[in-house]
Amino acid sequence: MSDLDRPRLALYVALGLAVCLLGARYVLAQTSASAPAPARGGDGGAGSARADGGSGAAVSVRRADGGRLTVHVAGAVRRPGVYELPAGARVDDALRRAGGARGRADLTVVNLAAKLEDGRQVLVPERAPAPAGAAAAGGAAAGGSPTGGGAAAGGAVAPVAPVNLNTATLEQLDTLDGVGPGIAQRILDYRQQHGGFARVEELGEVPGIGAKRLATLTPLVTV
């Protein structure tokens, strides 16, 4: 080997070493970038779940708490309609949203504690009217007039018919077919302003009682 080949050989060796060094640094850098990061916050347990394949990624697991439901409240309630309530609400909550039950409502057949389901109807039935003969007998046994419609002992509303327009309370008037709290109050106001009813037909002069409603109420009341 000539003297001129020695410098050239040394240059080739130096270039080879430089290439090897750069390659080793590149491999180390790639290995560091792909290594998984250490977990933080302890075992990372309760709020997450491990991803498939053991890659070290985490997927958040959440529960869909809360929500709303829509129900139709119908029957003997003051404001029938469709209402939106929070999930987990009960039948009693739906009745409250609808203004409460009317005086003729039969709540003995309604489970007020039942949970509501979305899209269902809550139907509140009315009490079946008592036979006239049984009502009169009940009124006489309670010590009241069969046609008086007054209150029974202890202040409870006596379930007798017909109802006396001159002695009936607001609650008793509210039990009449076609009469709500508003009209019942107007009947009481008319009675106070005019000193009572002289005849049943005077009901037609109370605001809100038309001919059709008067015809319905006539056999149910007396003076």
Q: Do 156 and 206 belong together in one domain?
A: yes
Per-residue model confidence as pLDDT tens for the chain (223 residues)? 555 577 777 778 888 888 888 878 877 777 766 655 554 544 444 444 443 444 333 333 333 446 899 999 999 999 999 999 999 999 999 999 999 999 888 888 899 999 999 999 999 998 877 655 555 555 544 444 444 444 444 444 444 557 888 888 888 888 887 788 888 888 888 888 888 888 888 888 888 888 888 888 888 888 8
Q: Do 183 and 149 belong together in one domain?
A: yes
For residue 151, being part of any structural domain is answered with yes
Q: Do 113 and 94 belong together in one domain?
A: yes
In terms of phi and psi (left: phi > 0; alpha: psi -120 to 50; beta: otherwise), the region of 154 is left
For residue 46, being part of any structural domain is answered with no
3-class DSSP state of 58: strand
- Domain of 175: which CATH number? 1.10.150.320
Neighbours of 16 (CB within 10 A): 10
Tokens of 73: 């409240």
pTM: 0.35
Last residue of a domain, one of 95, 124, 153: 124
3-class DSSP state of 27: helix
Residue 112's identity, in one-letter code, is L
Last residue of a domain, one of 106, 124, 142: 124
Q: Do 119 and 140 belong together in one domain?
A: no
Question: How far apart (Å, rounded) are the C-alpha atoms in residues 168 and 170?
Answer: 7
Q: Do 187 and 153 belong together in one domain?
A: yes
Determine the structural domain holding residue 150 and report its residue range: 132-222
Q: Do 80 and 150 belong together in one domain?
A: no
Last residue of a domain, one of 76, 99, 124: 124
